[in-house]
Structure 1
Amino acid sequence: MLDIAEELNRWCEQGRDFAVATVVAVSGSAPRAPGAALAVDADGTVIGSVSGGCVEGAVYELCREALQDGGTVLERFGYSDEDAFAVGLTCGGVIDILVTPVRATAPGRAALATALAAAASGGAVALVRVTSGPAELLGRMLYVEGGPQQGAETEKGPGAGPGNGPGNGGGTLGGHPELDRTAAAEAAALLDAGRTGTVETGAEGGRCGQPLTLLVESSVPPPRMLVFGAVDFAAALVRTGVFLGYRVTVCDARPVFATPARFPEAHQVVVDWPHRYLDSTEVDGRTVVCVLTHEAKFDVPLLERALRLPVAYVGAMGSRRTHEDRLGRLRAAGLGELELARLRSPIGLDLGARTPEETALSIAAEIVANRRGGTGAPLTGAHTPIHHDGATPPGRIGSVA
């Protein structure tokens, strides 16, 4: 649901009644991950998607019915060989979709509105809903707000989270009081990792009570892409990084090159020595570091620090000869083989790239493959999965734990 938080937040502010259909479980080659949502208001306006088109029509009707009868339903869609006209997924997967009506007067409306407002403003928030278990709990929700450490600001300072620390929130799942405490703790842990996932627990919290499943959706500020080296390749990579949903910073020690006019799409342009800037700025496990200077006086002190940080990706531009020289300098600086193994150099996948734009595509493809667990090999003739689970995406919604 948080993937359409901005639109839903406007609907809440306007006092609209609506129903939300959310993907809560997938198996096989499903087109959308858990957390993907489609919403329909009382006038029939629709936003979002749950399947990329396969079952949208049927889900739309379920939302309309939910608005009329006020009931929460869990529906499964899958491929059917028996009936060519059956509503199913042409890709062969199976998805479970929870449809929940959200009326302006509903008891949980205020909690949902707060969570949506936080997500829409770029804050860190997790939304928890019961997706299987006792019928009276189905669709109930609570939210947890993240603290300052969840922020993705470009400088050290106040984070983007609306709360004062992890665990702030509201709403209730109903039932046993311990259930809310358990759900909030699990949500805070997933929010801290920036991931969306499911949690199995009991209706009384822990192992007690009837089994139930919780879907925890996490919405976190955009991840950072740090591009070092204000060169033509950097300009193309900035555009690609923004397109992929990163908050992009360009850093170079040369003020004549590091100017906003040369990098208008960048969120921030910094004039500083790269290693000094890296020491002073915020990074996390989703941050990607791209070193495009291929000049030892900049690269070595920068990479010496970057390879020791818990970031998602570190890549450096340069020829294979430059790479071998760089490795020798980094070993002399004290880096071990495990740290050096994290370095993606020469940066990018082998696409035969020549132009700055093609090179940026090559780098972006390697970043995506690294994040998603892909191989970078052609899908044609391959027997590997098309979709990979278990990694964190760049936007607000993480992948299934």
Structure 2
Amino acid sequence: MLDIADELHRWARQGRPFAVATVVATSGSAPRQPGAALAVDSDGTAVGSVSGGCVEGAVYELCQEALRTGETFLERFGYSDEDAFAVGLTCGGVLDILITPVRREADAAAAVTAALAAAASEEAAALARVVRGPAHLLGRALLVRPDGSVTGTLGGPPELDRTAVHETRALLDAGRTATVEIGADGSRCGEPVLLLVESAVPAPRMIVFGAIDFAAALVRAGKFLGHHVTVCDARPVFATRARFPDADEIVVDWPHRYLETQDLDARTVLCVLTHDAKFDVPLLERALRLPVAYVGAMGSRRTHLDRLDRLRAVGLTELELNRLRSPIGLDLGARTPEETALSIAAEIVANRRGGTGAPLTGAHTPIHHDAPASLDRIGPASVA
């Protein structure tokens, strides 16, 4: 739901009732991940998507039904010979979708509207909603912020909220969206409670070192992937807004010195395009010791081997050197800056998602590597 927070926050401020259909869990070749949402307001306006088009029509009607009845419910869409063409989910996947009406007077409204405001403002927060458990708790929600403050309640025993807050903060710290099952003992509800936790965190960072022509194309690719992109170069004549109009930030500084001032997390991507030992060796000496997601460096294979010798000479271990992706990017036969940016972006995605970079044609590997299981694979369903 937080993927369409900007529009839903506007609806909430205008007092417009709406219903949200949120992907809770998937299996098989499902087109969207948990947290993806489609919303419909009281005028019939729709935003977002839960299936890339496969079941949008049926989900739209369910949202309208939720607006009419005020009821929250869980719906499953799967493939079969009988319903393939009826709902259009012909990819062989299964989607479990929570449909929730959002009105000011609803029990979950305070938490949901606070979550939308936080996501629209790019503030870190995580929304936990009950997607399976006692019927009177279905759809109830609470919002957790990094400082531990909480908005809303799941409506069960105090132990349920305490456990939910603890689990939600852990996922928020990791910037993850996932389902969490709280056992009967932890929930004190007499049965397990399954939560969908959606984390809204600031965009992951991409820092591009080296204000070269290839960097401009990589900035555009990074923005396309949803990164907050910084370009850093020590040469003010090259690190300019005119050359990098799409960058969020342009920094004129020595790369290693700038890196030392930054508070980076495990989602950060570092792309070293300086292609000059006086810049990239001191930079990589520091970068390869940071807990970031990806460190890649441009250069020929000969340059790479020379760079490794230089990095060993300044004390990097083989384990640290093994983190370096160089020559940067996947083998696409790229030549132009745009093609090279595509190969780098593809490697970043493969690294994040656990992909191999191999062609899917003729392969027997999963298309989606990190899709959480459907609810019946998490545990027995208890939603009517």
TM interval, shorter chain, is over 0.9
- Quote the residue 2:141 is aligned against: 141
Unaligned runs of 5+ in 2: 373-377, 379-384
Is 1:360 the counterpart of 2:341 in the alignment? yes
Q: 2:284 aligns with which of 286, 300, 303?
A: 303
- Quote the residue 2:119 is aligned against: 119
- 1:203 to partner: Cα distance: 5.4
- Quote the residue 1:397 is aligned against: none
Structure 2 matches for 1:351-390, cutoff 5 A?
351-389=332-370
* Aligned-partner residue type, residue 20 of structure 2: V
- Quote the residue 1:292 is aligned against: 273
Q: Is the 8 A contact 1:178 1:204 kept in 2?
A: no
- Quote the residue 1:211 is aligned against: 192
- 1:40 to partner: Cα distance: 0.8
Q: Which runs of 4+ in 1 moved over 3 A?
A: 82-86
- 1:103 to partner: Cα distance: 1.5
User: Which segment drifts farther, 7-16 or 85-94?
Assistant: 85-94
- Quote the residue 1:227 is aligned against: 208
Partners of 1:110 and 1:195 lie apart in 2 by: 22
- 1:206 to partner: Cα distance: 5.2
Query: What RMSD, in angstroms, separates the aligned Cα atoms of the two structures?
Result: 1.6
* Aligned-partner residue type, residue 296 of structure 1: A
CA gap 1:105/1:310 in 2 versus in 1, 3 angstroms: same
Is 1:338 the counterpart of 2:315 in the alignment? no
Partners of 2:59 and 2:261 lie apart in 1 by: 48
Is 1:277 the counterpart of 2:253 in the alignment? no
Q: Is the 8 A contact 1:274 1:302 kept in 2?
A: yes
- Quote the residue 2:14 is aligned against: 14
Secondary structure at the aligned position of 2:87 is classed as coil
User: Which segment drifts farther, 353-362 or 103-112?
Assistant: 103-112
Summarize deviations over 1:263-285 as a string: whole Å, max 9, x none: 11111111111100000112110
Is 1:268 the counterpart of 2:249 in the alignment? yes
Q: Is the 8 A contact 1:80 1:88 kept in 2?
A: no
User: Which segment drifts farther, 304-313 or 43-52?
Assistant: 43-52
Q: 1:255 aligns with which of 236, 244, 254?
A: 236
TM-score by length of 2: 0.94
Secondary structure at the aligned position of 2:98 is classed as strand
CA gap 1:357/1:95 in 2 versus in 1, 3 angstroms: same
Q: Is the 8 A contact 2:134 2:189 kept in 1?
A: no
- 1:87 to partner: Cα distance: 2.4
Q: 2:179 aligns with which of 165, 174, 198?
A: 198
Secondary structure at the aligned position of 1:61 is classed as helix
Q: 1:327 aligns with which of 308, 312, 324?
A: 308
Unaligned runs of 5+ in 1: 147-164, 392-399
* Aligned-partner residue type, residue 124 of structure 1: A
Secondary structure at the aligned position of 1:217 is classed as strand
Summarize deviations over 1:106-152 as a string: whole Å, max 9, x none: 23322221111011100101000000111111111001112xxxxxx
* Aligned-partner residue type, residue 76 of structure 1: R
* Aligned-partner residue type, residue 50 of structure 2: V
Secondary structure at the aligned position of 2:166 is classed as helix
Summarize deviations over 1:229-287 as a string: whole Å, max 9, x none: 11111111111111111111111111111112211111111111110000011211010
- Quote the residue 1:156 is aligned against: none
- 1:84 to partner: Cα distance: 5.1
Aligned-pair identity (%): 78
Partners of 2:94 and 2:53 lie apart in 1 by: 14
* Aligned-partner residue type, residue 216 of structure 1: V
Q: Is the 8 A contact 1:55 1:87 kept in 2?
A: yes
Is 1:185 the counterpart of 2:166 in the alignment? yes
Secondary structure at the aligned position of 2:251 is classed as strand
CA gap 1:337/1:84 in 2 versus in 1, 3 angstroms: closer
- Quote the residue 1:99 is aligned against: 99
- 1:307 to partner: Cα distance: 0.2
User: Which segment drifts farther, 77-86 or 50-59?
Assistant: 77-86
- Quote the residue 2:375 is aligned against: none
Q: Is the 8 A contact 1:199 1:215 kept in 2?
A: yes
Secondary structure at the aligned position of 1:290 is classed as strand
Summarize deviations over 1:310-347 as a string: whole Å, max 9, x none: 00000001111110010011111111111000000000
* Aligned-partner residue type, residue 111 of structure 1: A
